Amino acid sequence: MASGADGVSRSDAGAAIVSHLVLENTACPLCGEPQSHTVLVASDLLYGCPGEFKLARCAACYHVFLNPRPTRECIGQFYPADYGPFRGALSVPRPLGSGQCGPLPNGRGTVTRSWKCLRRLVLWWIDSRAAPIPHSPLPAPYSPLALELGCSHGAFLHQLRERGWKCVGIEPAAEVARRAVETGLDVRVGSLESVVASDPQTFAPSSFDAIFAWMVIEHLHDPVATLRLARELLKPGGTLSISVPNFGCWEQRTFGRVWYALQLPTHLQHFTSASIRRMLAASGLELVEVIHQRNVNNLVGSLGLWLRTKFPRWSLGERLIHWTDNPSAIGLCLLTPLARILAIVRQSGRLTVVARRSNPPMR
Ligand SMILES: [Zn+2]
């Protein structure tokens, strides 16, 4: 059991990415309550880092978080080069289900009307509502300004630009950020706090019309502090859009230690729609909408992890885990009815949350 506040040397060859782990105990990251109790003990099933980690529930506000957790200084070791969001195309990828419609080559360098219609139909059918782009708040020809936290290769930034937005990205992984810059994007390396401190002119208060953070907030040591800073950067009425795994859904209760979205120890926070509301209120942000995504990727990944754990000789588990990172269009089409039903009954494994800058933070 890797616990306590002391340093723990790692030497397992299968976990070469981790050379030295330092864990720290923490109060509740949302409300500051020092008392919490362990609700789950699990290991890193995706990358095989040795040791087990504890999820704790706050005694006051019931938020679930990793405790003890890796320090800010050592957490980077848990993001290997093949970490899911770091993989993939470098040529301006267009994620499936994004709701965007682009050209589809037919083998002769031209695009037929029927192919375009088919593509639109498929994209409409599998649209997960994971990363919606708001309408421009400014009249033409003015371009609104957006900021994306944890932008990885910059796929979403390119979508924003195609919709007429000016945009800046922030990415902690230097190599990934460099690849995004090579595609013509303005991407800064670091955390939101460090980037704002290094360029106060670009990141002046009330500068941005919208800020996005897709599957990022659960990785943060102090999400309230980051959202308060994001709020300062927003113009009055500006929107913050985030997505997170949904710890309050049936998947987590069913799969427990093998729930795909646990992703220990990089997921430091485990949100429900209720704890998201508390975090936004503490950050001075007003909730606009909670969207249950039409997305069963966590479900497929959880099945894969369960199969790989129970039947390590079978290849099906590994294939399902791989599919979760690289879903096929046909697979998404077939799974969409289930994804839509889970979203309707508000049991999706992933949430998208839209908030607006409002009153000053309360904490
Ligand atoms: Zn709390």
Cα of 32 from ligand 1 centre, angstroms = 6
Where in the chain do CATH 3.40.50.150 domains reside? 85-357
Cα of 204 from ligand 1 centre, angstroms = 31
Rounded-to-integer distance, Cα 194 and Cα 198, Å: 6
**What tens digit of pLDDT does each residue of 192-234 get?**
999 999 999 999 999 999 999 999 999 999 999 999 999 999 9
Mean pLDDT of 296-321: 95
Cα of 60 from ligand 1 centre, angstroms = 5
- 174 burial via Cβ count (<10 Å: 0-12, 13-18, 19+): exposed
Cα of 64 from ligand 1 centre, angstroms = 8
Cα of 263 from ligand 1 centre, angstroms = 21
State yes or no: pLDDT of 277 exceeds 90.
yes
Higher pLDDT, 334 or 4: 334
Cα of 92 from ligand 1 centre, angstroms = 40
In 3D space, the residue among 95, 239, 229 whose CA is nearest the CA of residue 165 turns out to be: 239
Cα of 34 from ligand 1 centre, angstroms = 8
**What tens digit of pLDDT does each residue of 31-47 get?**
999 999 999 999 988 88
Mean pLDDT over all residues of the chain? 87
Task: Supply the pTM of this predicted model.
Answer: 0.86
Determine the residue type at 31: C
Cα of 58 from ligand 1 centre, angstroms = 5
pLDDT reported for residue 313: 92
pLDDT reported for residue 19: 64
Categorize the per-residue pLDDT at 18 as very low, low, confident or very high, splitting at 50, 70 and 90.
low
Cα of 49 from ligand 1 centre, angstroms = 28
Whether the upstream peptide bond of residue 265 has omega within 30° of 0, thus cis, is yes
**What tens digit of pLDDT does each residue of 146-169 get?**
999 999 999 999 999 999 999 999
Cα of 33 from ligand 1 centre, angstroms = 5
Structure-token pair, residue 159: 């979508």
pLDDT reported for residue 140: 76
Cα of 278 from ligand 1 centre, angstroms = 9
Cα of 335 from ligand 1 centre, angstroms = 36
Cα of 250 from ligand 1 centre, angstroms = 22
pLDDT reported for residue 84: 66
Cα of 194 from ligand 1 centre, angstroms = 26
pLDDT reported for residue 141: 76
Cα of 357 from ligand 1 centre, angstroms = 23
**What tens digit of pLDDT does each residue of 118-151 get?**
888 888 898 888 999 988 888 777 889 999 999 9
**What tens digit of pLDDT does each residue of 47-80 get?**
887 889 999 999 999 999 999 999 999 888 888 7
State yes or no: pLDDT of 94 exceeds 80.
no
10 Å Cβ neighbour count for 20?
Answer: 11
pLDDT reported for residue 17: 55
Cα of 103 from ligand 1 centre, angstroms = 48
Rounded-to-integer distance, Cα 59 and Cα 354, Å: 27
Q: Worst-scoring range by mean pLDDT, 20-29, 104-113, 235-244?
A: 104-113
Cα of 69 from ligand 1 centre, angstroms = 16
pLDDT reported for residue 48: 80
| pLDDT over 90, % of the chain | 71
Cα of 224 from ligand 1 centre, angstroms = 12
85-357: CATH number: 3.40.50.150
Q: Hunting for tokens 């320090």 — which residue is that?
A: 71
Q: Hunting for tokens 């200084």 — which residue is that?
A: 73
Cα of 271 from ligand 1 centre, angstroms = 12
pLDDT reported for residue 110: 55
What is the 3-state secondary structure of the chain? CCCCCCEEECCCHHHCCCCEEEEECCCCCCCCCCCEEEEEEEECCCCCCCCEEEEEEECCCCCEEECCEECCCCHHHHCCCCCHHHCCCCCCCCCCCCCCCCCCCCCCCCCCHHHHHHHHHHHHHHCCCCCCCCCCCCCCCCCCEEEEECCCCCHHHHHHHHCCCEEEEEECCHHHHHHHHHCCCCEEECCHHHHHHHCCCCCCCCCEEEEEEECCHHHCCCHHHHHHHHHHHEEEEEEEEEEEECCCCHHHHHHHHHCHHHCCCCCCEECCHHHHHHHHHHCCEEEEEEEECCCCHHHHHHHHHHHHHHCCCCCHHHHHHHHHHCCCHHHHHHHHHHHHHHHHCCCCCEEEEEEEECCCCCC
30-66 b/e (C-beta count within 10 Å ≥ 16 → b):
bbeeeebeeebebbbbbbebebebbbbbbeebbbbbb
Mean pLDDT of 248-273: 96
Rounded-to-integer distance, Cα 234 and Cα 240, Å: 8
Cα of 65 from ligand 1 centre, angstroms = 9
Higher pLDDT, 113 or 9: 113
Cα of 245 from ligand 1 centre, angstroms = 18
Cα of 40 from ligand 1 centre, angstroms = 17
Cα of 35 from ligand 1 centre, angstroms = 9
Rounded-to-integer distance, Cα 310 and Cα 125, Å: 34
Cα of 222 from ligand 1 centre, angstroms = 12
